[in-house]
Chain A
Amino acid sequence: MKTILQANNVNKIFGAKGNQYTALQSISLSINEGEFVGIMGPSGAGKSTLLNIFSTIDTPTSGKITIDGENIVAMNEEKLSDFRRNKLGFIFQDYNLLDTLTVKENIVLPLALSKVPAAEIEKRVQEIADTFGIRQILDKYPYHISGGQKQRAAASRAIVTHPSLILADEPTGALDSKSAASLLESLSKLNQANQSTILMVTHDAYAASYCQRVIFIKDGQLFQELPQEGLTRKEFFGRILEVLASLGGGHHDAV
């Protein structure tokens, strides 16, 4: 199986000399094509820092990261932009939809940036709209639709370019439980049907239970890895909670 993301010995240190803070310490992990991986950990564990580094909007202090065969640490600003555009898809907690564009235009945006022909764009948008069930809100503006709809629109935008890796940062963080479940179902379905690779940061055990593997980090270091391995989602959810309890400071909310 092809490795999509390979991180070796990643370190991130903030601050100048004398007042340093180690956010990440020798993190090594790898994600294979078609995997749905969760990253969990208490607040301040370094989840977001790690995701930002994978997203190429932050750089590690040291270490090597390869995504889809390309070393992202060595790339310059221009190349990184191209890389983000072509290889990565983002889903953020606060949606990050552009409020001056309709839902459809938001989804079109990454394709337009890559200069995909208009006819092809139209086709892909229709496909993705069906996957996420947002066909009836395509011509609405973000401020007219609910949070769940916004997040599904944002997910559509992330996926429409067929990225190698989808990075989701607390995608259910601002959603009510029903919308959250529906979004996670959609992501899970997408992962199975299209062999999409998804890396999701969350502090919600329920969201994490949709993953095939959950990586726990604490104080900037890898703490434990928990594979689903044939467990039902309910059993997996229980196991996740157990690890969280052992982590200390874990959140038991949103059960």
Chain B
Amino acid sequence: MTLFKIAGKNIRKNFANYFLYFASMIFSIVIYFTFVSLKYDSTIQSASDGSQKISSAFSGAAVVLIVFVAVFIWYSNSFFTRKRKKEVGLYSLLGVRKKKIGRMLFYENFLMGVMALIIGIALGSVLSRFFVMLLMKVMGYDAVPNFTISLAAMANTFIVFMMITLITSVQGYRLIYRFKLIELFQADQEHEKEPKASILLALLSVLLIGFGYWLALQNLLTSKAWAALGFMLTPLVILVSVILGTYLLFNTLTVTLLKLSRRNKKSYWKGLNLIGISQLLYRMKGNARTLTIIAVLSATTLTAVGTSYSFYYNNQTNAALANPNSYMFIGGSEIADSKADQAIRQAPGHKVLYHESISLLEVDADTSGLKQNTGLNEQSFTVISSQDFNRLAKLQGRNDAVSLEGSEAAVLEPMHMEGISPDYVGSAITLKGKGMKETLRFKALKQYSVLNTGTVYSTIVVSDEMFAALQPKAKTMAVQAYSISHQDKAKELTKQLEGILPETAGFTSFYSDYARGMESTGLLVFMGGFLGLVFLAATGSIIYFKQLTEASSDKARYLILHKIGVKKREIRNTVAKQMMFIFGLPLAFGMMHCAVALAALSKLLMTSLAVPVVTCMGAYICIYLIYYFLTVNSYYKIVTNVK
């Protein structure tokens, strides 16, 4: 029998053992292949105008994926080979030459790699079709995918995974050389020492995390700490202090707390608490690094996915905030205006909800009287009368009106940022230009506009008599504002109008902002979701593998427990509790870190993140729970398999 045949037979007969490793390889390949084929997919490239942007985004994400997938395969490989140390030792004991064993392991690994590659690409071809459709959908395109399997994607995947397989195969080949025979037989028999707890380090961990949180939640503009550390350094300081704090927390604080909990004899000496707590005590230190990585990875993933999803989620709101009217343009030539009007009225599938023609003024003003002004002392403003403002606000469904008298004014700033934008209320500006020296006192600030921000300058609402007084002196214009039904589907009409109206009309539409937003945030949310899913699956699998490794080495302990009369149900309970700890800790801290990061971010981004982030966290927890139950089940099966 040739070595190659033995290797093949080994795989066939031991498939249950190989399955996990095999499955994780296939999983990695499917993910990678799908991703790469999206990158090369012609439908996506042709559907988006900014294909350069998309392709570079995909390339960047692909690099992250390669690194991640390589680490993941490496990890499952080492888990897998550990299981087989004894078998390898036996071959050696029977007198098979090291070289032959090494070659056999190499063949095995290589054979599996190639098989996984074939299956992975086949599965990936099917899946990527589904993902193309998904991506098109979230980006707001409705092109039908005429999907073809990309040869370039295949070649790319093939090369990357052949390299990874070669590396792991060589690693397998070296297994027999790396260990002494005796070590191969004693794979799981090392004695464990009780970990030491340091109260000082435990306290330090809490302090570090607290410090990181405190720094992250500071107001960027007013914080002395940020000013002292500098804007580039501070985020790094936050990151390092939180990661280090998390590691120390898992490494020492948990140990300290577990040790303290042993002091309470009443609960410690009750049922299997004795076992559960001491098991965890011994396990925590060894797991601290993995758990830290998982907590940090979870936090990053959740933050990234949460943020990108909230952009996507808020796209409609943002587009509507910038474009309260479906269409708006400055009237100029009558022919163009009436042609546009006709086009809007006749557009199939859309009804005109309102059409308003509004007179606006354009003025220059001296803004040096504003608190926190932008540094420029002169600025152009668009002026609207309070009567027109109130009418439009009502049409746009806002239950809000202004009443202004004399030189009182209100400013409309949908993108107002507390602390950065000028502080209008209470200050005054003086108008400039020929014959104008009126002073306007700001009485109110509205964080919305009734005009599309792309067509006009920053808008000031003035009293009707002031408007009448200014009208003869300032540059006036008549603006057309339309609102239509189904404005988010007005692709055709928008295109038509863009053709009709001249450049000078300052044409703005809800649809084009909305569509642009869908495209970029859709891509963002897809990438975020895709990578998030991969990270999640991988972190879940890493805990799974790690716990199963430990289950095999804990088996003897549970056998003793079984002999002295512990019920299977009780063993299941204590296993479930221990796993809850192992799974719950990184998840809880990942979510906590994420919550703080998002709290800091939402101040910066000015978007509400609550709904999208809670959705993401919910999904995350659900998938994590599946891994949890899977692990508890497998762990329990391993430790109660009495033989």
Contact = CB atoms under 8 A, between A and B. Distances in A.
A complexed with B? yes
Interface stretch (A42-50, A64-72, A95-103): A95-103
23 contacts: A55-B563, A77-B567, A78-B569, A82-B567, A84-B565, A90-B563, A92-B563, A97-B560, A98-B278, A98-B557, A98-B560, A99-B191, A100-B279, A100-B282, A108-B269, A108-B274, A110-B564, A111-B269, A112-B269, A112-B271, A115-B270, A122-B265, A143-B193
A231 interface: no
Given A101-B278, A109-B274, A121 B269 contact: yes
Contacts of A88: 565
A178 B627 CA distance: 52
Chain B binding surface SS class: helix
A97 B560 CA distance: 8
Given A112-B271, A118-B265, A57 B563 contact: yes
Given A85-B565, A86-B565, A98-B278, 9 more contacts: A78-B567, A92-B563, A101-B275, A105-B278, A109-B275, A115-B271, A121-B269, A141-B194, A143-B191
Q: How large is the interface on A (under 10, 10 to 19, 20 to 34, 35 or more residues)?
A: 20 to 34
A121 to B, nearest CB: 6
A241 to B, nearest CB: 32
Interface in A35-83: 55, 57, 77-78, 81-83
A92 B279 CA distance: 22
B512 to A, nearest CB: 66
B274 A105 contact: yes
Contacts of A85: 564-566
A85 B642 CA distance: 18
Interface in B402-454: none
Contacts of B561: 98
Contacts of A141: 194
Interface string B251-276: 00000000000000110011111110
A254 interface: no
Closest 5 CB pairs of A and B: A85-B565, A84-B565, A81-B567, A118-B265, A100-B278
Contacts of B192: 99-100
A113 interface: yes
Interface in B224-281: 265-266, 269-275, 278-279, 281
B189 to A, nearest CB: 11
B563 A112 contact: no
B278 A77 contact: no
A118 B269 contact: yes
B265 to A, nearest CB: 4
Interface of B: 191-194, 265-266, 269-275, 278-279, 281-282, 557, 560-570, 642
B592 to A, nearest CB: 30
Chain A binding surface SS class: helix
Contact of A82 (B271, B273, B275, B565): B565
Contacts of A98: 275, 278, 557, 560-561
A105 B266 CA distance: 13
A109 B570 CA distance: 13
B271 A113 contact: yes
A110 B565 contact: yes
Interface string A105-143: 100111111010010011000000000000000000101
A101 to B, nearest CB: 5
B119 to A, nearest CB: 37
A100 B565 contact: no
- Most chain A CB neighbours (cut-off 10 Å) among B192, B193, B274: B274
Contacts of A92: 563
Interface in A116-173: 118, 121-122, 141, 143, 157
Contacts of B265: 118, 121-122
Nearest to A121: B269
A111 B272 CA distance: 11
A96 B563 contact: yes
Contacts of A77: 567-568
Contacts of B563: 55, 57, 84, 90, 92, 96
Contacts of B567: 77-78, 81-82
A98 B562 CA distance: 12
A15 B431 CA distance: 104
A90 B194 contact: no
Contact of A100 (B272, B557, B569, B570): B557
A118 B271 CA distance: 11
B219 to A, nearest CB: 49
Nearest to B262: A105
Nearest to A157: B564
Contacts of A84: 563-565
B195 to A, nearest CB: 11
Given A108-B274, A143-B191, A118 B266 contact: yes
- Most chain A CB neighbours (cut-off 10 Å) among B194, B266, B269: B269
A81 B642 CA distance: 14
A90 B564 CA distance: 7
B194 A81 contact: no
Contacts of A99: 191-192, 557
Contacts of B272: 112-113
